[in-house]
Chain A
Amino acid sequence: MNFALHRRATVLLAVLAAALVALPWVADNYLISVATLILFLAYTGQAWNVMMGFAGQLSLGHSLYVGVGAYVAGGLFFHFGLGPWAGLWIAILVCMLLGAAIGFLAFRFGISGVYFALLTIAFAEFTRIGFDHIPWTGGPGGLFLKVAQRDQVDLLHFRGPPAMYYYSMLVLAAGALALCAAMLRSRAGYYWQAIREDEEAAQALGINTFRWKMLAVIVSSAMTAVSGVFFAFYYNNLFPEQIFHISRSIEIILGPIIGGVGTLFGPILGAALLTVLSDGITELLAAFGWEIPGIKQVFYGVVLLGVVMFLPNGIWPPIARRLGIGR
């Protein structure tokens, strides 16, 4: 990437950042909630992308880490009054251990590709049904965190108006973008990409593929744990049926796949497009008065079909080429 291209990318990024920072001054609460959701999905998609986009390990069970992160922090707060900031670190630790355990078992036994993907689904589903039967988590009836007053910013207890959650998610998403950009250019990033392209060749070059794949899983699960903690204190109610469900895993990975797997900006663009598409279809159908259950998802599915068929590498790579910037 030469200097002129680099500068253009920097300018575009600065404009986007300024617009995102200014958003709460012009937007109402509904728009802020939509933007928060977009950033949430962008951040989580970025975390997933570390495993799949960088290291080539397809996880279809990332709802596991969102759910466990949410339940650890939420449960500690609910039962012991432990604040979100302490709970955050415990949630990260638990998810890292969980990711390490799954990665260790899978990579030790040489499970890869479709089998690895199905193993991640199995762990997520196993945990979902398990949590339905654990009294500590509230079971299928759910776990409800106390909702305090919402007009004052109380960072210590992570309570406040919608704009506070929006800015927290913005910081997280920007941090994840910076972290991923740095990782891609680090030794780990190059090793991951070598493993993604051809694992046997990477091994032949002397890369300890087991160790670097483990690192990818651990980084990804730790990052995803943070979105789980955010989820717990943003929505304040947790149900195993919702948070661990495979449809949530799919929701997480749709953004990066639609945006462009392995790119830095793809997860963000994909999350934004899909959320706007989903809300846009809802509004459009309401305007026409077509409110049949299921019709929204049919439209959504058809658009997805079109994108995967005609833009196999995602939406971001052709746009990046048009704008003349990398990744």
Chain B
Amino acid sequence: MPIDLIVNVVIAGVLTGLVYGLMALGLSVIFGVVRVVNFAHGEMMTIAMYAAVMLFAMLKLDPFLAIVPVAAAFFVLGYLLQRALINPFITRPEHSQFMLLVAVAIVLVNGMLMIFGPDARNVQTDYQLDSFAIGPILIDAARLYAAATALVTTALLFLFFRYTLTGKAIRACADNYLGAKVVGLNIRHLYGLTFGLGAICVAVAGCAMSILLEVTPQLGPVYTLLAFVIVIVGGLGSMGGALLGGVLIGVSEALAGLFIAPSAKSMVSFGLLILVLLFRPQGLLGRKS
């Protein structure tokens, strides 16, 4: 097999993986703070992809510009979802939380099926077929932009958690729930904000992904599982871990598609997940609890 083909596939895998990583980052942030596993994560991602596709179809809005309204709407919806539905469940057992979010996921995925039908939809921009050539290596322009967007969003989120007062307050909730309560933090509000931030990650990742892939309602459950695999491999609650996990899964999917069969690519990801869970259950970059 020619070496430049493999290099091209790996580069495409890394770039797609960064977008995957941003999606998984949303899941990781929500779990790290609220301690609820969002089983409707991929469904939310698919809704963001549909939002980008519809904004393009109706207003000719470029998906990268659509990020702004979609992210704003997702932040508000995420906040409300946490406050109204999920908050009463944070002290309930895991299977109860699981049921709640599975019910939400069922409604979301089938709501999309009702509205948009089962057919795949996509956006067509003039830069989708562009590529940059470095010698024999070709890099898709759209993929590069999507990956750059994911990196910028991750950096902004990192800065928010590091330097703003609200970001520090959210981290305080995650570190010590009781302590945060004692010093008078409004935990319900902060949990709502956290879920909103997780939803922003999904919104940005969804808009970026809408340029790379056709969207169908059935992508929802696939992305939910993919996000789980990535955060466990990288380490739940670790921001760098989510990106690293995303890149690893992106590359392993791309290589499995090349060397085994495209239909077997997620088997490699699940195999990786099983190995990580058994030998480093806290994830590659996670801290031992």
Contact with B along A222-266 (1 / 0, CB 8 A): 000000000000000000000000110010011001000100000
Q: Contact at B94–A309, with CB atoms within 8 Å?
A: no
Once A122-B229, A130-B267, A246-B221 are accepted as A-B contacts, the answer to whether A117 and B98 lie under 8 Å apart by CB is yes
20 examples of A-B residue contacts, CB within 8 angstroms: A109-B278, A109-B279, A110-B281, A115-B232, A117-B94, A119-B273, A119-B277, A133-B261, A133-B263, A254-B99, A257-B99, A261-B95, A293-B113, A293-B117, A294-B109, A294-B112, A294-B113, A297-B109, A300-B106, A304-B106
- Residues from chain B with a CB closer than 8 A to the CB of A117 are 94, 98
Interface residues of A in 61-112 (CB under 8 A from B): 105-106, 109-111
- Nearest chain B CB to A100's CB is how many angstroms away? 15
| A295 beta carbon closer than 8 Å to chain B | yes
- Chain B: interface secondary structure? helix
Contact with B along A1-34 (1 / 0, CB 8 A): 0000000000000000000000000000000000
8 more A-B residue pairs beyond the given contacts A115-B232, A308-B100, with a C-beta to C-beta distance below 8 A: A60-B98, A109-B279, A125-B266, A133-B263, A297-B106, A297-B110, A301-B103, A312-B96
| B37 beta carbon closer than 8 Å to chain A | yes
Q: How many residues of B contact A (CB 8 A)?
A: 44
Q: Contact at A247–B221, with CB atoms within 8 Å?
A: yes
Residue of B nearest to A123 (CB): B274
| B225 beta carbon closer than 8 Å to chain A | yes
Once A122-B270, A301-B110 are accepted as A-B contacts, the answer to whether A132 and B263 lie under 8 Å apart by CB is yes
- Residues from chain B with a CB closer than 8 A to the CB of A106 are 277
| A39 beta carbon closer than 8 Å to chain B | no
| A204 beta carbon closer than 8 Å to chain B | no
A109 to B281, CA, bound (A): 8
Q: Contact at B96–A308, with CB atoms within 8 Å?
A: yes
Q: Contact at A118–B110, with CB atoms within 8 Å?
A: no
| A136 beta carbon closer than 8 Å to chain B | no
| A298 beta carbon closer than 8 Å to chain B | yes
Once A293-B114, A294-B113, A297-B110 are accepted as A-B contacts, the answer to whether A126 and B271 lie under 8 Å apart by CB is yes
Partner of A129, one of B88, B117, B266, B274: B266
Partner of A58, one of B95, B264, B277: B95
Q: Contact at A298–B111, with CB atoms within 8 Å?
A: yes
Residue of B nearest to A294 (CB): B113
Interface residues of B in 64-98 (CB under 8 A from A): 85, 88, 92, 94-96, 98
A91 to B152, CA, bound (A): 52
Q: Contact at B232–A305, with CB atoms within 8 Å?
A: no
- Nearest chain A CB to B267's CB is how many angstroms away? 4
A111 to B236, CA, bound (A): 14
Q: Contact at B95–A305, with CB atoms within 8 Å?
A: no
A228 to B114, CA, bound (A): 32
A293 to B115, CA, bound (A): 9
Q: Contact at A122–B273, with CB atoms within 8 Å?
A: yes
| B213 beta carbon closer than 8 Å to chain A | no
| B179 beta carbon closer than 8 Å to chain A | no
Once A109-B281, A129-B267, A293-B117 are accepted as A-B contacts, the answer to whether A122 and B274 lie under 8 Å apart by CB is yes
Q: Contact at B277–A304, with CB atoms within 8 Å?
A: no
Residue of A nearest to B108 (CB): A301
Interface residues of A in 256-301 (CB under 8 A from B): 257, 261, 292-298, 300-301
Residue of B nearest to A302 (CB): B107
Once A58-B95, A133-B263, A293-B114 are accepted as A-B contacts, the answer to whether A118 and B228 lie under 8 Å apart by CB is yes
- Residues from chain A with a CB closer than 8 A to the CB of B232 are 115, 118
A129 to B222, CA, bound (A): 13
- Residues from chain A with a CB closer than 8 A to the CB of B279 are 109
Q: Contact at A125–B270, with CB atoms within 8 Å?
A: yes
Partner of B100, one of A125, A140, A305: A305
| B104 beta carbon closer than 8 Å to chain A | yes
- Residues from chain B with a CB closer than 8 A to the CB of A58 are 94-95, 98
- Residues from chain A with a CB closer than 8 A to the CB of B229 are 122
- Nearest chain A CB to B193's CB is how many angstroms away? 22
Q: Contact at A115–B277, with CB atoms within 8 Å?
A: yes
Once A114-B37, A115-B281, A118-B277 are accepted as A-B contacts, the answer to whether A295 and B110 lie under 8 Å apart by CB is yes
| B102 beta carbon closer than 8 Å to chain A | yes
Q: Contact at B221–A304, with CB atoms within 8 Å?
A: no
| B217 beta carbon closer than 8 Å to chain A | yes
A62 to B124, CA, bound (A): 42
Q: Contact at A122–B102, with CB atoms within 8 Å?
A: no
Q: Contact at B98–A126, with CB atoms within 8 Å?
A: no
A101 to B118, CA, bound (A): 39
- Residues from chain B with a CB closer than 8 A to the CB of A122 are 229, 270, 273-274, 277
A205 to B235, CA, bound (A): 33
Residue of B nearest to A298 (CB): B110
- Residues from chain A with a CB closer than 8 A to the CB of B100 are 305, 308-309
Residue of A nearest to B113 (CB): A294
- Nearest chain B CB to A199's CB is how many angstroms away? 14
Q: Contact at B95–A309, with CB atoms within 8 Å?
A: no
- Nearest chain B CB to A67's CB is how many angstroms away? 15
Q: Contact at B94–A114, with CB atoms within 8 Å?
A: yes
Partner of A294, one of B94, B103, B114, B263: B114
- Residues from chain B with a CB closer than 8 A to the CB of A292 are 114
- Residues from chain A with a CB closer than 8 A to the CB of B110 are 294-298, 301
A60 to B277, CA, bound (A): 16
